[in-house]
Amino acid sequence: MTNKNLKKMIDTLEFTVADPKTRRKMQEEYWAEQNEVIWENQVTTLTNENATLTSKNETLTSKNETLTSKVAELERLLQQAGINV
């Protein structure tokens, strides 16, 4: 049995024998901890998604610059050949 499991069992026993006011306080503390874990997970997920999107944006910006350069070169070559675009 791990310390984490042991702590959970002790917390459950304490909750079981507690008076209603103490139980309510224990429930509020539990849900506050759960909300904090959920919040941290959401922040981590959004941070990772932001990093991925930033990377994709940089890649697309680079590709856009390359394509813009190629279009300009093609326009220049067409003008040299006497073809107006």
- pLDDT value at position 85? 74
Global confidence as pTM? 0.62
Token code pair at residue 73? 């070169």
The distance between the two most distant Cα atoms of the chain, rounded to a whole number of Å, is: 93
How sure is the predictor about 22, in pLDDT bands with cuts at 50, 70 and 90?
A: very high
Span 31-67, pLDDT tens digits: 999 999 999 999 999 999 999 999 999 999 999 999 9
Task: Tell me: pLDDT of 1 over 80.
Answer: no
Give me the residue spans of the domains in the chain. Answer: 3-60
Three-class DSSP category at 83: coil
